[in-house]
């Protein structure tokens, strides 16, 4: 019989709304800096850096708790308030708002997963929209980031992320 010394967990002790907040953790770093710049091209570059930074937070093997329709989460990331609400149960869809100093970030996240006998493929559909007060610019990015997990029954699980920037 298969035994392993390593503890295997597949569930996160947080809800989907909390996971959405974790995925926006780089926003105060890059977006706060962008909000202080008066050049829309430089703001765009920092928004791209923010989006690329979030890619590493998307690849997690653990599954958060199933969302409940109307579930909300309010919190702070580095002093910046963020609000998340679950607006659909099936398919799960979350909306987020972050009110920073000089900017507003809005986003929608709709994860989708397909399971096979020994693999899982996941994709998060959605968008992020960042509006800057000083330049009146609005930067929108789409989020189709497919991730595949294979060899689920082996001690080593492989994650492959395919994305085009």
Tokens of 47: 């928004």
Tell me the whole-structure pTM to 2 decimals. Answer: 0.75
- For residue 139, the model assigns a pLDDT of 92
Per-residue pLDDT of the chain (165 residues), as tens digits, is 444 555 545 666 777 777 777 777 788 889 999 999 999 999 999 998 888 877 776 666 666 667 788 888 898 888 889 999 999 888 888 899 999 989 999 989 887 777 777 666 767 788 889 999 999 999 998 875 665 655 555 555 555 555 444
CA trace torsion 140, 141, 142, 147 (10° rounding): -160
- For residue 110, the model assigns a pLDDT of 83
Could you tell me whether strands 138-142 and 119-132 are parallel, antiparallel, or unpaired per DSSP bridges? antiparallel
Listed in sequence order, the residues at least 6 apart from 75 whose beta carbon sits closer than 8 Å to its beta carbon are: 18, 21, 81, 82
């Amino acid at each position: 019989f298969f035994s392993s010394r390593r503890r295997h967990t597949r569930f996160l002790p947080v809800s989907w709304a909390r996971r959405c907040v974790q995925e926006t953790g780089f926003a105060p770093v890059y977006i706060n800096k962008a909000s202080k710049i008066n050049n829309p091209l430089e703001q765009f570059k920092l928004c791209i850096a923010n989006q690329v930074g979030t890619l590493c937070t998307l690849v997690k093997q653990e599954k958060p708790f199933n969302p409940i329709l109307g579930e909300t989460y309010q919190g702070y990331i580095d002093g910046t308030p963020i609000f998340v609400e679950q607006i659909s149960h099936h398919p799960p869809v979350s909306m987020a708002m972050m009110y920073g100093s000089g900017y507003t970030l809005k986003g929608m996240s709709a994860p989708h997963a397909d399971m096979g006998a020994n693999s899982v493929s996941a994709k998060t559909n959605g968008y992020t929209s960042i509006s800057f007060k000083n330049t009146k610019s609005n930067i929108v990015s789409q989020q189709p980031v497919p991730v595949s997990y294979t060899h689920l029954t082996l001690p080593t699980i492989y994650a492959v992320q395919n994305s085009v920037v």
